[in-house]
Amino acid sequence: MQSSLYVALSAQVALEKRLNTVANNIANINTGGYRAEEIKFETILSQAGAGTVSFASSGETYTSRRIGSVTRTDNPLDVAIQGDAWLSISTPSGLAYTRDGRMKMNEAGELQTMDGYSVLDPGGAPILLNPQDGEPTIGRDGMITQRNNQIGALGLFKIDNKSQLTRMGGSAVKPNLPATAMQDFTSVGVQQGYAEGSNVNPVLELTKMITISRTFDNAAATISETESSMMNAIRSLGPSA
């Protein structure tokens, strides 16, 4: 059995998945609040022959939770989330969470994401502003006031580190475990007039893409050499005319 052939094939499968992930990260460099995708690889051991052979798994995709870069916008409807917390939004596919704090107000005064999804308060209800009362003030704890009147609060939620995150489009994610509303704002909060960008490192991702491409070529060369070796063996060991 030519173990090297199957090891190289398993490597190519893993590398193709990694390349697609890197390409997706690069495509979302400018997506506000986007969290990069990473892959965790494990070794699969086979005892099919006399010795143990290590194969590369296809990899498990997970979402990086590194904080993205923060930019000052001076837009009163923009907030940058500080610490490990997420905004709650209502999407056509259900409840989701995002780190993209760029917001807008529709004609009815409802606070929405740039994609038009309702931004929710800690109780899960949409937030309504008064279009006639001017720019709102948003405190560190997410409390919203207009003309010194408290009108609502942004819902800041904690997503368990054990949760698996499913992408809902853009920078929104949906955890498989319930998120909990933040009550202690000592280490978390929002900063008005700022916005968080993607946490993708473009230089690092481009470097990864080059490395993956070269490694993929090396794996292809290994497969080609193994196939050539097998054909030579067949010709050498086959019956002579």
List, for residues 61-74, the tens digit of each pLDDT value: 788 899 999 999 99
- The reported pLDDT for the residue numbered 44 is 45
| Residue 4 CA from chain centroid, whole number | 34
Which structure tokens are listed for 112?
A: 């929405």
Please give the mean pLDDT across all residues of the chain: 85
In angstroms, the Cα distances linking 111 to 52, 193, 222 are: 59, 15, 56
Q: Which of 61, 82, 26 is nearest to 199 (CA)?
A: 26
Residue 105 has a CB neighbour count (10 Å cut-off) of: 17
Strands 86-91 and 94-98: antiparallel
CA gap 196, 79 in Å, rounded: 8
- Digit-coded pLDDT (tens) for 183-193: 999 999 999 99
Question: HSE on the CB side for 22, CA within 13 Å?
Answer: 18
Residues 6+ apart with CB under 8 A from 28: 34, 36, 171, 198, 200
Domain ranges of the chain: 3-64+200-236, 70-196
At 93, the amino acid letter reads S
**pTM of this structure:** 0.78
**pLDDT range class, residue 169, cuts 50, 70, 90:** confident
